[in-house]
Structure 1
Amino acid sequence: MSINFMRLLFINIESALLELMMGVCNNYSFFENCEFSQNTTLQDGCNAILKNFPEIIFVQVSEIATIYKIDEIRKLSQKDIKVIAIAKTREYAYDALKCGFTDYLILDDDFELELRKVLLKLQNSAESTLKAFYLKSYKEYRKVITSDILYLKADGNTTDIITINDSCLTAFKTLKSFENFLPENFIRIHNSYIINKEQITKVNFGELKCAVGLKNNEHVIPFSRSYSKNWKQLEENFKHLSLAN
């Protein structure tokens, strides 16, 4: 299985510009795992929004009607879609912001630099609020809700994902790749384990282990000294939250 964290849609992008954008996106590990939709016309792009619900859209605008149309479809979707306008003038860019677009890019000499800034903002925002991602196997996609994950375990170059219903999903990605994008409630406490802090049921810092999961079906996860900085921070958090007996 491979991982698809986000779906990106490109609308009305000139071919040379699209090639540049794809090259820049591939510089960032987060976007390496995204599913990129084909560059579409405005009409096909609107259909794709309502059919596939992409999380991020880049649309090149040369008239106000394009902005209004995308805004209309975005609202109809009732999804939190990040829309970035690409325009030759600031007038269209500002019109896009007024219509609720997330950001804009101006086609000038600073375009690539500004694109990198936008991508980093999108990456940081997604990493801090990521609620779900998809595991892809051939043409099948399986949704994984991050709050349902108990822990992740390294198995060579693959990672096992254990969820609250005790299912085990295997992704052909290293544990490190998950460490780089999962939200802040996930913490690596061992060479082989990342745990969901919100799923911890008990922890023993003297014995360097914790339990995650349901009370009648707990999984015991060890800490390792190589990640002592992480679990010591966890210990400090527990001290602030605990009531002394």
Structure 2
Amino acid sequence: MNYSYVIVDDNQESVLETKAVADGFSELTFLASANNYEEGLNIILEHNPQLVFLEIDPADKKSNLSLVLINELYRYLKVVPKIIVTTKKKDLAFDAIQYEVADYIIKPVSRVHLIKTILKLEKSSAVEESVTVLPQLAIEPPIVPVVQQETTAQKEPLILCIKSYGDYRYIDTRDIAYFQADNNSTDIHLNNGEMITAFKTLKHFEGVLSYPFVRIHNSYIVNSHCISRIHTGNSVCYIKNTAIKLPFSKSYKGNIDLIIAEISSGNYLEI
């Protein structure tokens, strides 16, 4: 999933450092930056970013940067961007949590910090998409607890339907190993070796699918759960139970780092 972002920080050097790290991630798109409260509010309202990197303890107190900026956003926006606090102090973390910020990063912002932040955002987005909102909930509470409904939805696999002239082909996305671009169509390769062609671009699938499907190359989206090996030196990853090797490009190296980090965050032992 791609995220647009702005940086609001009184220190221009910190702005450039944060942007330099974020530039290494193809899923992050820079829109603008500001050095004080008023400019920060203006660029957020103008550009409507999905993420805001916000300094809340500025060296220049005249910049008026603080968590209060978040309150101001609620006055104007129906959907407030995800706020990622970037600061040098740890003791403001509790206050930031009260404002429900998406993440709290101690400066200087590093690549590992952003990998973890993006993974949190992806996981949060996946949970939100799995929840079914019932219109009558406010009037008539459902018999089944909401928590139980969320759990059931999360367990259900995503079914991909390839429709062509009245022919509906249903594919359990867990059975998909990878997608391969073929001009204006896309070849869907299954774990059993079968290949199905969909008349949609790879860009289309990148936009509608979330983790574990990750874009690693201009020509490939891979199911991270089907990867058995990643060789960063040769810039290739291997598909489980096959001899298939998929290349990944430098422009998508950040996505490969995300896959490695996600795998290592589970039931994992490194030797």
What TM-score bracket applies, with the shorter chain setting the length?
0.3 to 0.5
TM-score (norm 2): 0.43
